[in-house]
Amino acid sequence: MIITKKALPRRTFLRGAGAVLALPLLDAMIPAATVLAQTPAAPVPRLGFVFVPMGTDHARWTPEGGTILDKLSPILSPLELVKDKVTVVTNLELQNSYPGTHDTSNAGYLSAAFAKHTESSDYHLGTTIDQIAAKQIGQETRLPSLELSMDLNPLAGVCNNGYACVYQNNLSWSSPTTPLPSEAHPRLVFERLFGEGGTPAEREALLRSRASLLDAFHEDISRLKRAVGASDQNRVDQYLDTVREIERQIQRAETADTEEFSTDMERPVGVPAEFGDHATLMYDLQVLALQADITRVITFQFTRELTNRTYPQIGVPEPHHPTSHHGNDPVKVEKIAMIGQYHVEFFAKFLEKLKATPDGDGSLLDNTIYLYGSGMGNPSLHDHVNLPILVAGGAATGLRGGRHIRYEKGTPLANLHMTLLDRAGVRLDSFGDSNGKIDDLFDAVPV
C-alpha cells in the first residue's frame, strides 16, 4: 500500500499474501481541501437482522407502563445499559405465515411472503428485506451482505408439515427461488472477511502455524500509522486489537479440535464447545465486519426453528422445541422465558460493543439499525401475531429509542420492513403484505 498526503479512500485495503485487511472509518478518509477537513468522515447506513426461534412468553417480554421504556421486562432486562437505543414494538404480525408452522415462521420473518407448501425443490418464497437493501447499499462494500447462523449442520429433505427444509435453513433469499446459505463456523467467517484460506492443505498448514493475519501487514500498518493523526492511530490500534482478539478466540477453540479433524479437514474446526462462547464470537465478527465496512447488511439466525438445543447452563436441560409447546404449564412457560432472556443477553452485549466502537463523530451503534425478533408469537399455538420485536440503533439513524410502541392489532411486520428500508435510503412502494410505514419509529430527519 502506498500512502500519500492525499485523503485515503474509504475503500482503502491492506493486502497481504492470501488476505485483505479493510480499515475502519478514519478521519484521514476525507479530502483535506474541503470544508469537511475539520470534521470526522461521514458515516454510512448499516442494517442488521437477528432471528430467534419459537416466539416468546409475552407476559415476561412485554414492557409494563406507557410509551417510555422506563422499566424493562424480565426477558429484556439485559438491555438496561442500552435501553435508550432500543424501541420495543408490540402487535406486529405475519399473516402470510399461516397456516402457522415453524417453517413459515422462519421463512416469513424477513420476507413477509407466503411459503409455497412443497417437499421438493420447487420451493418459492420472496426476496428478503436484507437482500433488497444489499442490492443498493451493499454495492460499495467487498461483501454486499453477510449471512450468519449458529447451527452448523443444515437440515435436509422435508422438515415439518410437508415443508422443504430450505425454509428453516435460510433467512435470506436473493430471489423468490434463491435461498442464501448462512455460515456458522467462526474461522470460515473470518476467512471470508479477510481472505481465502486456500486449499485444505494450505488451511491445515496455516492452522498449525498459528500465525496472525496481522503479521502479513506489519510494514503497511506502520506506514499507515505514521501518515495519520493521533485520533486515527488510536482508532487503528483499537481495530487491530479486536482482530487479534477474535483470532485468539478462534485459535483457542481450534486447539481442542485440531487433533481430531486436522487430517482431512472435511469437517470445519474451531467452533467453541460452549454455546455462549460461540454466540459471542459470532457477534464479535459482526462488529468487525461493520467497523471495517466490509459489509453493511448482516443477517444472523441465532438458532433455528424446531431446534432441540438444551441450555443446562441456565437451568434448562430440556430441549427447546418440546418445551415451547408449553400448553400454559407454568414451569415450561418460565423456562421459555429463561431461554429468551439468555438470548437477549448476547444481543445486549453486542449493542454495548457497537456503542463503544468509534465510527465517524459517534459510535458504530449511532450509525447502525438492528431488527431483533421472531416470526412466531405464542409457540404453543404456532401463531404469528403479537410478534416479539425490537429495533435498536443510534442517533444518526434517527431512531427515537427508549420507547415502547403499541400498534393496533393486525399491523403487518412488513410495515416495519418498509420503514427500515426507507431509513437506509431504499425506496419501495410495497413489500409483502405491507399497508403503510411506521412513521413514528424514527425522527423525520436523522440527527
- Indicate the length of the chain as a whole number: 447
**Percent of the chain topping pLDDT 70:** 75
Domain stops at, among 269, 300, 334: 269
Contacts of 98 (CB under 8 A, 6+ apart): 104, 384
Which residue in this structure is represented by grid cell 403479537?
386
Is residue 239 domain-shared with residue 153, that is, in the same domain? no
Q: Is 36 within a domain? A: no
Q: Which helix (H) or strand (E) holds 86?
A: strand 86-93
**Residue 80, pLDDT above cutoff 90:** yes
Is residue 395 domain-shared with residue 433, that is, in the same domain? yes
d(CA 16, CA 28) in angstroms, rounded, equals: 22
For position 128, which CATH number holds?
Answer: 3.40.720.10
Q: Is 147 within a domain? A: yes
Q: Is 35 within a domain? A: no
Side chain identity, residue 404: H
CB 45 within 8 A of CB 423: yes
Q: Is 62 within a domain? A: yes
Q: Which of 110-124, 215-229, 267-281, 334-348 has the lowest mean pLDDT?
A: 215-229
Is residue 180 domain-shared with residue 304, that is, in the same domain? yes
Q: What's residue 33's pLDDT? A: 40
Cell of 144: 454486499
d(CA 182, CA 234) in angstroms, rounded, equals: 33
Q: Is 30 within a domain? A: no
Q: Which of 109-123, 238-252, 388-402 has the lowest mean pLDDT?
A: 238-252
CB 176 within 8 A of CB 125: yes
Cα angle value 153/369/429 (rounded, 5°): 95
Q: In a 3-state reduction of DSSP, which class is residue 15? A: strand
Nearest to 87 by CA among 401, 397, 351, 372: 401
CB 131 within 8 A of CB 107: no
Q: Is 37 within a domain? A: no
| 249 band by pLDDT with thresholds 50, 70 and 90 | low
Over residues 403-429, the pLDDT tens digits come to 999 987 889 999 999 999 998 889 999
Is the pLDDT higher at 262 or at 434?
A: 434
Q: Within a 10 A sphere around the Cβ of 24, how many other Cβ atoms?
A: 21
Q: What's residue 243's pLDDT? A: 72
Q: Is 379 within a domain? A: yes
Q: Taking the mean position of all CA atoms in its chain, how far away is CA 119?
A: 29
Is the pLDDT higher at 172 or at 120?
A: 172
Helical packing angle, 230-255 and 275-291, nearest 10°: 150
Q: What's residue 346's pLDDT? A: 98
Is residue 292 domain-shared with residue 336, that is, in the same domain? yes
Q: Taking the mean position of all CA atoms in its chain, how far away is CA 4?
A: 36
Number of domains in the chain: 2
Is residue 316 domain-shared with residue 348, that is, in the same domain? yes
d(CA 260, CA 159) in angstroms, rounded, equals: 30
3-state secondary structure 141-208: CCCCCEEEECCCCCCCCEEECCEECHHHHCCEEEECCEEECCECCHHHHHHHHHCCCCCHHHHHHHHH
Residue numbers of the domain that contains 384: 43-184+271-441
If you average pLDDT over residues 288-309, what whole number do you get?
92
Q: Within a 10 A sphere around the Cβ of 328, how many other Cβ atoms?
A: 8
d(CA 406, CA 403) in angstroms, rounded, equals: 10
Q: Is 38 within a domain? A: no
Beta bridge partners of 93: 412
Q: What's residue 260's pLDDT? A: 41
Q: What's residue 239's pLDDT? A: 72
d(CA 141, CA 351) in angstroms, rounded, equals: 22
For the residues of 328-366, what is the DSSP string, one character each? T-HHHHHHHHHHHHHHHHHHHHHHHHHHHSEETTEETGG
Is residue 131 domain-shared with residue 161, that is, in the same domain? yes
Q: What's residue 390's pLDDT? A: 97
Is residue 106 domain-shared with residue 232, that is, in the same domain? no
CB 280 within 8 A of CB 186: no
Is residue 106 domain-shared with residue 81, that is, in the same domain? yes
Q: What's residue 263's pLDDT? A: 36
Is residue 243 domain-shared with residue 362, that is, in the same domain? no
Is residue 168 domain-shared with residue 73, that is, in the same domain? yes
Mean pLDDT score of the chain, rounded to an integer?
Answer: 83
pTM of the model: 0.82
Domain stops at, among 203, 236, 269: 269
Q: Which range, 125-129, 182-186, 235-239, is most confident?
A: 125-129
**Residue 145, pLDDT above cutoff 80:** yes
d(CA 224, CA 79) in angstroms, rounded, equals: 37
Is residue 294 domain-shared with residue 148, that is, in the same domain? yes
Q: What's residue 409's pLDDT? A: 83
Q: What's residue 223's pLDDT? A: 74
Q: What's residue 228's pLDDT? A: 73
Is residue 145 domain-shared with residue 204, that is, in the same domain? no
Q: What's residue 214's pLDDT? A: 66
Domain stops at, among 242, 269, 296: 269
